[in-house]
Amino acid sequence: MPIYEYHCQQCGCDFECLILGSDTAECPSCKGGDVNRLMSACGFVSKGAGGETVSRSAADASCGGCSATSCAGCGH
Protein backbone atom coordinates (compact mmCIF):
# COMPACT_ATOMS: atom_id res chain seq x y z
CA MET A 1 0.00 0.00 0.00
CA PRO A 2 1.49 3.36 -1.00
CA ILE A 3 2.30 5.73 1.85
CA TYR A 4 3.46 9.10 0.56
CA GLU A 5 5.07 12.07 2.28
CA TYR A 6 3.51 15.50 1.73
CA HIS A 7 4.17 19.16 2.56
CA CYS A 8 1.22 21.49 3.18
CA GLN A 9 1.56 24.84 1.40
CA GLN A 10 -0.94 26.51 3.79
CA CYS A 11 0.55 25.69 7.22
CA GLY A 12 3.96 24.17 6.40
CA CYS A 13 3.18 20.79 8.00
CA ASP A 14 5.05 17.71 6.70
CA PHE A 15 3.04 14.48 7.00
CA GLU A 16 2.58 10.96 5.65
CA CYS A 17 -0.64 9.75 4.07
CA LEU A 18 -1.89 6.40 2.76
CA ILE A 19 -3.41 6.99 -0.70
CA LEU A 20 -5.74 4.44 -2.28
CA GLY A 21 -7.14 4.72 -5.79
CA SER A 22 -8.24 8.25 -6.62
CA ASP A 23 -7.97 9.52 -3.02
CA THR A 24 -6.30 12.89 -2.50
CA ALA A 25 -4.17 13.99 0.43
CA GLU A 26 -5.45 16.42 3.04
CA CYS A 27 -3.29 18.09 5.69
CA PRO A 28 -4.06 16.58 9.13
CA SER A 29 -3.15 19.88 10.82
CA CYS A 30 -5.18 22.50 8.92
CA LYS A 31 -7.35 20.22 6.70
CA GLY A 32 -6.02 22.07 3.63
CA GLY A 33 -5.78 20.39 0.25
CA ASP A 34 -2.91 22.49 -1.18
CA VAL A 35 -0.22 19.84 -0.61
CA ASN A 36 2.87 18.74 -2.56
CA ARG A 37 4.14 15.18 -2.55
CA LEU A 38 7.75 14.97 -1.36
CA MET A 39 10.56 12.76 -2.58
CA SER A 40 10.85 10.01 0.02
CA ALA A 41 14.16 8.65 1.24
CA CYS A 42 14.22 4.92 0.85
CA GLY A 43 16.55 2.37 2.40
CA PHE A 44 17.89 -0.76 0.81
CA VAL A 45 20.17 -3.66 1.61
CA SER A 46 22.47 -5.13 -1.01
CA LYS A 47 25.30 -7.63 -1.16
CA GLY A 48 28.82 -6.41 -1.85
CA ALA A 49 31.28 -8.12 -4.17
CA GLY A 50 32.48 -10.39 -1.35
CA GLY A 51 28.95 -11.33 -0.26
CA GLU A 52 28.92 -8.97 2.74
CA THR A 53 25.72 -7.07 3.50
CA VAL A 54 25.96 -3.38 2.67
CA SER A 55 23.32 -1.16 4.28
CA ARG A 56 22.79 2.41 3.17
CA SER A 57 19.95 4.87 3.25
CA ALA A 58 19.30 7.65 0.73
CA ALA A 59 19.32 10.01 3.72
CA ASP A 60 23.02 9.17 4.24
CA ALA A 61 23.80 11.00 1.01
CA SER A 62 22.39 14.36 2.16
CA CYS A 63 24.25 17.65 1.78
CA GLY A 64 27.18 18.15 4.14
CA GLY A 65 26.17 20.35 7.06
CA CYS A 66 22.49 20.24 6.14
CA SER A 67 20.15 20.32 9.13
CA ALA A 68 16.89 20.01 7.18
CA THR A 69 14.66 17.03 7.95
CA SER A 70 13.92 16.51 4.26
CA CYS A 71 15.49 17.59 0.97
CA ALA A 72 12.38 19.71 0.29
CA GLY A 73 13.40 21.99 3.19
CA CYS A 74 17.07 22.11 2.20
CA GLY A 75 16.90 24.72 -0.55
CA HIS A 76 19.69 23.14 -2.59
Helix (H, G, I), strand (E, B) or coil at 24: coil
Q: Is 65 left (phi over 0), alpha (psi -120 to 50) or beta?
A: left
List the chain pLDDT tens, one digit each, 76 residues: 578 899 999 999 999 999 888 889 999 999 999 999 998 766 666 666 776 665 554 445 545 555 555 555 555 4
CB 61 within 8 A of CB 44: no
Predicted pLDDT of residue 47: 67
Residue 56 and residue 24: Cα distance in Å, rounded? 31
Domains and CATH numbers, the chain: 1-40 (2.20.28)
Instruction: Name the pairing type of β-strands 14-18 and 3-8.
Output: antiparallel
